Amino acid sequence: MKIAVIGTGYVGLVTGTCFADSGNDVTCIDIDEKKIENLKQGIIPIYEPGLTELVQRNSAAGRLKFTTDTAAGVQPAEVVYLAVGTPQGKDGSANMSAMWSVVKAIAPYLQESAIVVTKSTVPVGTNAKIFGMLKELTGRECDVASNPEFLKEGAAIEDFMKPDRVVVGVRRPEVSDVLHQLYEPFLRTEKPFISMSPESAEMTKYVANAMLATKISFINEMANLCEKMGGDINDVRRGIGHDSRIGFAFLFPGVGYGGSCFPKDVRALTSMSLDHDCEPTLLRAVDEVNERQKSVFKQPILDHFDGDLKGKNIAVWGLAFKPRTDDIREAPALVLIDWLLEQGASIKVHDPEAMENVEAELGDKVAYCKFRMDAIEGADALVIMTEWKDYHSPDFAEMYQLMKSPVVFDGRNLYEPERMKRRGYKYYSIGRKAV
Ligand SMILES: NC(=O)C1=CN([C@@H]2O[C@H](COP(=O)(O)OP(=O)(O)OC[C@H]3O[C@@H](n4cnc5c(N)ncnc54)[C@H](O)[C@@H]3O)[C@@H](O)[C@H]2O)C=CC1
Ligand SMILES: O=C(O)[C@H]1O[C@H](OP(=O)(O)OP(=O)(O)OC[C@H]2O[C@@H](n3ccc(=O)[nH]c3=O)[C@H](O)[C@@H]2O)[C@H](O)[C@@H](O)[C@@H]1O
């Protein structure tokens, strides 16, 4: 099939590349000229495991092309995917300006039988609005489908190629058939292709993200309670997870969820609820608990240093909002670093992939260390904010020697408290008693 993908970010680039890999002719379009220039040379703007090889292989095979020329990409396309950003607007609702400008830009070049598909996460009603806009702009009734994406950053290729399910929202079964054909190569293990109305598909995406965010806020609230009452959240997690009705997924406590999606999507759904006079009690609580959780270490850090952080050397391991990505959007580490700076601490940071992005934001306010051990040299405390594999098994004896005082605030529960105590550390973690 001939496919155009508009918006070549995390989702658009992965979508286009995976469709090219399954034999389609794909043109990825973006307004960012530098990004497109780089992609033409096989330089990938983001860190996503496996993506560089896949882009280079499919570009070399002539199935994957990059352009800023909307007309050239859209004119031959049978399916036009829209994957531009839908970031949070000032009032919490999704900012749809990029989506509306793309709809206007593609309208003159759409083939009569082309199917326009939203891949971006868009408010319920967007499909109908695009249908109306295209009718006005082209004078005909175009097929507009919704096909929300459920991939996770850091595992994007795997998630796209082996989805748990594919959801499409269509108004005609023929459109569903075309999209089913497109996805068949990825559904060979009998995973379901679920066809529904566009409104249900749009809602499915928000409900999925809100459910996952709810699980995280729930376990974080329980973790904080556990710590106060003398329990260990890791034991509790194991104690509940074996109940198949509950399970283990997305119940790891931590320093709060970040990223470009959970925070904005929970808020966009909250905004949609308010627009429809439905009180979003639970959604608001999920967001509030998460905002509080990003600051969960502030008080213990202050208490540890008797309320005075001036001149203290703090090391931070992990800046990205999660491992295996360089994405720092809404990363809990940034909230902590801002606060540490306000308190007068001096900070050395390490992250395997995200330091360049942080440097663009924070400049020389913190020191960037190429090696994790350089960050902790002379440190009064280490704070772990992201569970990169690099941090799971450091040489604790070497760390002990390098640090000024052996104090660890572990925001991802990577280590066993009793072992840390035996190694001579003062160890704080999430939902477990400090030792
Ligand atoms: N990042 C993720 O893991 C996931 C994101 N989503 C959703 O997918 C959508 C896209 O997200 P990301 O890929 O993360 O965004 P992104 O910010 O990485 O990429 C968006 C791209 O669209 C381009 N763009 C903006 N306006 C344009 C225009 N008028 N014409 C052509 N290109 C334009 C930008 O230059 C950028 O390259 C969002 O709605 C997001 O909620 C859904 C699932 C996963
Ligand atoms: O709509 C989206 O953009 C995507 O949002 C999330 O994917 P992503 O944000 O890439 O990463 P996750 O692995 O879900 O992690 C999100 C945040 O939750 C945190 N988290 C996750 C799991 C957990 O048990 N505990 C926890 O604190 C992570 O540290 C991270 O900050 C969803 O998992 C995807 O299904 C969805 O497509």
Would the CB of 401 count as within 6 Å of ligand 1? Answer: no
Tell whether 324 and 373 lie within a shared domain: yes
Looking at residue 338, its pLDDT comes to 98
Residues 89, 26, single domain; the answer is: yes
Closest residue to atom 23 of ligand 1, CA basis:
7
- pLDDT at residue 158 tops 90: yes
Range of the domain at 223: 206-291
pLDDT at 189: 86
For the chain, the average pLDDT equals: 97
Q: Is 396 annotated as a binding residue?
A: no
Residue 262 lies in a domain: yes
Residue 406 in contact with ligand 2 by CB distance below 6 A:
no
Assigned domain for 318 exists = yes
Please indicate, yes or no, whether residues 177 and 82 belong to a single structural domain of this protein.
Answer: yes
What separation in Å is there between the alpha carbon of 262 and the centre of ligand 2? 7
- Kindly state whether residues 281 and 346 are assigned to the same domain: no
Amino acid 156: pLDDT: 97
pLDDT, tens only, 106-154? 999 999 999 999 999 999 999 999 999 999 999 999 999 999 999 999 9
Is the per-residue pLDDT at 168 higher than 90?
yes
- Number of structural domains, the chain? 3
Q: What's the ipTM? A: 0.98
- % of the chain with per-residue pLDDT over 70: 100
Closest-approaching ligand to the CA atom of 413: 2
Query: Of 169, 196, 223, which residue is a domain's last?
Result: 196
Q: Measure Cα distances from 287 to 31, 260, 281, 335, 422 in Å.
A: 32, 14, 10, 15, 37
Atom 42 of ligand 1, residue of closest alpha carbon: 149
What is the pLDDT at residue 236?
97
Return d(Cα 267, Cα 91) in angstroms, integer. 9
Cα of 312 vs centre of ligand 1, distance in Å, is 40
pLDDT digit string, tens, across residues 382-398: 999 999 999 999 999 99
DSSP 284-336: HHHHHHHHHHTTTTHHHHHHHTTT--TT-EEEEE--SSSTT----TT-HHHHH
Within a domain: 25: yes
Whether the predicted pLDDT of 339 surpasses 90: yes
Alpha carbon distance 46, 60 (integer Å): 20
Burial class (CB within 10 angstroms; exposed 0-12, middle 13-18, buried 19+) of 373: middle
Q: Check whether residue 308 and residue 285 sit in a common domain.
A: no
pLDDT computed for residue 227 by the predictor? 94
Residue that is last in its domain, among 164, 196, 228: 196
192-239 pLDDT, tens digit each: 999 999 999 999 999 999 999 999 999 999 999 999 999 999 999 999
Residues 35 and 173 in one domain: yes
State whether 244 and 364 are in the same domain.
no
Q: Cα separations (Å) of 15 from 10, 84, 395?
A: 9, 12, 40
Which of 291, 314, 339 is the endpoint of a domain?
291
Q: pLDDT band for 81, please (50, 70, 90 cuts).
A: very high
Task: Name the DSSP class of 380.
Answer: S
Instruction: Examine the pLDDT at 22 and tell me if it is beyond 90.
Output: yes
Structure confidence at residue 283 (pLDDT)? 98
233 and 252: one domain? Answer: yes
Is 435 contained in some domain? no
Q: What is the mean pLDDT of residues 329-340?
A: 97
239 is in an annotated binding site: no
Is 434 domain-assigned? Answer: no
pLDDT at 59 (0 to 100): 98
pLDDT at 36: 98
Q: Rounded CA gap, 317 and 355, in Å?
A: 11
Do residues 214 and 159 both lie within one domain?
A: no
The pTM for the full model equals: 0.97
- Are 407 and 380 a contacting pair, CB within 8 Å? yes
Reported as a single tens digit per residue, the pLDDT across 238-282 is 999 999 999 999 999 999 999 999 999 999 999 999 999 999 999
Q: Is the pLDDT of residue 190 over 90?
A: no
- Is 58 a member of any domain? yes
Q: Is the confidence at residue 348, as pLDDT, over 90?
A: yes
CATH number of residue 183's parent domain: 3.40.50.720
User: 340 and 421 in one domain?
Assistant: yes
35 and 15 share a domain? yes
Q: Are 423 and 400 in contact (CB under 8 A)?
A: yes
